[in-house]
């Protein structure tokens, strides 16, 4: 836990400084004042991830990469020392005078920091982490980007920008273990964002974004004993939650400036580089793009386009170098003809295997089964709570369709402003449901669809959200101010529901900690799981494969789940790999 805390402090300094420099430079030109303090570390997290991916194109991401990052962070602090000093003085004055309960917020955030550092220091190592996550991260630590790495094992071609971020902050260059704290850090940031729901509960007036926060709390509790793993699923889900929560906040505060929405769209591009299946969240781009083009603000449009391209570029380059495909394992985009290209037959088989696995099958031959056959089997195999959530999400999509039709001629512009974000989430849910609906692939859409659809209904017709629509005096809408009993009942129900989830999951986590008390990880973080392996040689270099099963862990390197027949493209590993039969299908 102590090492996790130290790494998180370092992460906060570097991401906050870099994020502050970027946001301050761009926002100053548009005249926008950044509203949320967490925007700085989140922006910095995206920037350092892009940086680590670019760095990996030339060398392993280790000591040198961190030294350059520190120099950049210190340079930003020196350049903006007056602005930062003023911001810190205002924050200290607010804490000292306890304005708007600022002192309580600080103590709550510190508590969450320690709580999530504790959770990120121990827990369950994800199965896929031992299968390929740990090896992918180590390849980035040791060599950066290696051409044709996916030929060693196809899962090493599952390029996720989150692996480069984990490698940057793993501190493996210090000679100890490779730490994996980045997912826990992002979970802590989201927990701090969810704290803002407390103010709405105290007022008895829940907003749509608060329902999204409630589902985020549910997810955070679920992964509390799993966020130790650097799995790309956690980064994807947490980032998607952040985008939707902050987008809803901006709508509810009636922010009309394009800048924050455009920057959230850039964050959406980052989300796509974490996990390609989240690409439909980019439908949100339509909103700021329309306003920019309508206002003929072409210079700003160019800036945001460059930010988006810069965010995606290293991810796409790494894709092409690791697999030979623009977007592996999808072969529909075939632009390259290189020696290290993963054979098309293998890539197609891999893509089908992902889809059938998400549908609950292990036999790729069942890929062509129509949806009317596999969907009922998949649904019946879900856990009880997951069944309820999927059903509610499906009903919410139907409600949204009806609402969209009814709003066509409505006078309330505010309600229509929620439609794009609701549509993006609902379409993402439908896309996930019809392709590869494994819960951990797309649970965020299962959670958010009812939150943004039913939550907006509640906020508009019950909680008093009609105030923003300018129809506060309308007799058609009964607000919470006119229903004190309903307001109090809502406060009690929501509070009890959140507490019940926290107590239940906390008890489960406590049981796990007690059962594994031999090493309580108060100083160092729990290491990767490692498994027995067998050696073999390729071009005089020792490789490893598991003695049993398909997992190897981190320590035995380089390794793959199976004994692989590959050919070196040169004399060393750095030169890359190609398939022994490159034309095989």
Structural domain includes residue 9:
yes
* Structure confidence at residue 494 (pLDDT): 57
* Structure confidence at residue 83 (pLDDT): 85
CA atoms of 189 and 178, how far apart (whole Å): 22
Pick the last residue of a domain from 342, 377, 405. 342
Q: What is the DSSP letter of 121?
A: T
Decide: residue 370, CB within 10 A, 0-12 exposed, 13-18 middle, 19+ buried: exposed
User: How many domains would you assign to the chain?
Assistant: 3
Structural domain includes residue 354:
no
> Do 249 and 389 fall within a single domain?
no
Structural domain includes residue 538:
yes
> Do 200 and 313 fall within a single domain?
yes
Can you state the percent helix, strand and coil of the chain, rounding each to 5?
A: 70, 5, 30
> Do 301 and 155 fall within a single domain?
yes
> Do 427 and 316 fall within a single domain?
no
Pick the last residue of a domain from 342, 357, 392. 342
Instruction: Judge contact between 120 and 227, C-beta under 8 A.
Output: yes
Structure tokens at 77: 């602090």
Structure tokens at 389: 């959530």
Structural domain includes residue 527:
no
Instruction: Judge contact between 217 and 506, C-beta under 8 A.
Output: no
* Structure confidence at residue 475 (pLDDT): 43
Range of the domain at 407: 369-515
> Do 378 and 337 fall within a single domain?
no
Closest of 237, 226, 212, 219 to residue 442, by C-alpha: 237
Instruction: Judge contact between 326 and 316, C-beta under 8 A.
Output: yes
CA atoms of 342 and 329, how far apart (whole Å): 9
> Do 15 and 109 fall within a single domain?
yes
* Structure confidence at residue 336 (pLDDT): 83
DSSP string of 232-254? HHHHHHHHHHHHHHHHHHHHHTT
CA atoms of 480 and 200, how far apart (whole Å): 12
Q: How far is CA 175 from CA 62, 178, 544, in A?
A: 11, 9, 22
Q: What string of pLDDT tens digits covers the 585 residues of the chain?
A: 899 999 999 999 999 999 999 998 888 777 788 888 899 999 999 999 999 999 999 999 999 999 999 999 999 999 988 888 888 888 888 788 777 677 888 899 999 999 899 889 988 898 999 999 999 999 999 999 999 999 999 899 999 999 999 999 999 999 889 999 999 999 999 999 998 888 887 776 778 898 999 899 889 988 988 899 999 999 999 999 999 999 999 999 888 889 999 999 999 999 999 998 888 888 999 888 888 888 888 888 899 999 999 999 999 999 999 999 988 888 888 888 898 999 998 999 988 888 888 888 888 888 888 888 899 989 998 888 899 999 999 999 999 998 888 766 544 555 668 889 999 999 999 999 988 898 988 899 999 999 999 888 877 776 654 444 444 434 444 444 455 665 566 556 755 665 676 577 567 656 655 665 556 788 889 999 999 999 999 888 999 999 998 999 999 999 998 888 888 988 889 999 988 775 544
Structural domain includes residue 268:
yes
Structural domain includes residue 362:
no
> Do 335 and 290 fall within a single domain?
yes
């Amino acid at each position: 836990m102590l090492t996790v805390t130290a790494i998180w402090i370092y992460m906060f300094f570097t991401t906050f400084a870099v994020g502050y420099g970027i946001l301050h430079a761009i926002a100053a030109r548009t005249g926008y004042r950044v509203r949320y303090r967490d925007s700085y570390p989140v922006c910095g997290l995206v920037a350092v991830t892009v940086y680590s991916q670019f760095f990996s194109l030339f060398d392993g991401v280790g000591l040198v990469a961190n030294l350059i990052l520190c120099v950049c962070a210190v340079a930003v602090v020196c350049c903006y020392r007056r602005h930062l000093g003023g911001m810190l003085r205002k924050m200290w004055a607010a804490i000292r005078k306890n304005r708007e309960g600022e002192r309580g917020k600080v103590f709550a955030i510190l508590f969450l920091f320690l709580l999530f550092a504790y959770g990120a220091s121990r827990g369950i190592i994800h199965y896929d982490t031992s299968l390929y996550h740990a090896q992918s991260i180590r390849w980035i630590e040791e060599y950066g980007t290696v051409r044709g790495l996916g030929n060693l094992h196809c899962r090493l071609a599952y390029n996720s920008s989150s692996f480069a971020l984990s490698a940057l902050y793993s501190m493996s260059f210090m000679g100890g273990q490779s730490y994996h704290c980045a997912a826990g850090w992002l979970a802590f940031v989201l927990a701090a964002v969810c704290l803002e729901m407390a103010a709405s509960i105290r007022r008895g007036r829940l907003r749509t974004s608060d329902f999204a926060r409630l589902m985020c709390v549910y997810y955070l509790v679920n992964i509390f004993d799993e966020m130790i793993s650097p799995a790309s699923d956690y980064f994807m889900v947490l980032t998607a939650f952040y985008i939707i929560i902050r987008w809803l906040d901006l709508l509810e505060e009636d922010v009309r400036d394009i800048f924050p929405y455009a920057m959230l769209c850039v964050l959406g591009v980052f989300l796509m580089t974490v996990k390609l299946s989240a690409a439909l969240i980019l439908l949100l781009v339509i909103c700021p793009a329309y306003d920019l083009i309508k206002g003929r603000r072409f210079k700003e449009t160019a800036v945001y386009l460059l930010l988006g391209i810069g965010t995606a570029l290293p991810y796409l380059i790494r894709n092409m170098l690791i697999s030979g495909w623009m977007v592996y394992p999808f072969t529909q985009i075939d632009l390259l003809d290189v020696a290290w290209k993963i054979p098309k037959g293998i890539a197609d088989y891999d893509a089908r295997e992902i889809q059938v696995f998400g549908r609950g099958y292990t036999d790729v031959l069942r890929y062509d089964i129509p949806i009317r056959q596999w969907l009922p089997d998949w649904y019946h195999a879900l856990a009880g709570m997951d069944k309820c959530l999927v059903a509610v999400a499906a009903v919410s999509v139907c409600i949204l369709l009806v609402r969209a039709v009814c709003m066509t001629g409505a006078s309330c512009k505010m309600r229509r402003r929620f439609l794009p974000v609701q549509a993006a989430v609902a379409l993402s849910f439908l896309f996930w449901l019809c392709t590869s609906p494994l819960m951990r692939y797309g649970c965020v859409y299962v959670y958010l669809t009812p939150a943004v659809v039913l939550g907006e209904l509640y906020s508009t017709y019950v909680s008093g959200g009609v105030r923003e629509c300018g129809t506060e005096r309308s007799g058609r809408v009964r607000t919470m101010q006119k229903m004190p009993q309903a307001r109090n009942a809502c406060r009690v129900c929501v509070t009890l529901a959140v507490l019940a989830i926290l107590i239940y999951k906390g008890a489960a986590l406590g049981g796990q900690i007690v059962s594994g008390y031999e090493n309580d990880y108060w100083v160092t973080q729990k290491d990767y799981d490692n498994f027995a392996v067998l050696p073999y040689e390729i071009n005089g270099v020792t490789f490893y494969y598991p003695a049993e099963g398909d997992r190897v862990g981190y320590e035995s390197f380089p390794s793959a789940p199976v004994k692989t027949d590959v050919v070196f493209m040169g004399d060393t590993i750095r030169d890359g790999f190609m398939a022994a039969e490159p034309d095989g299908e």
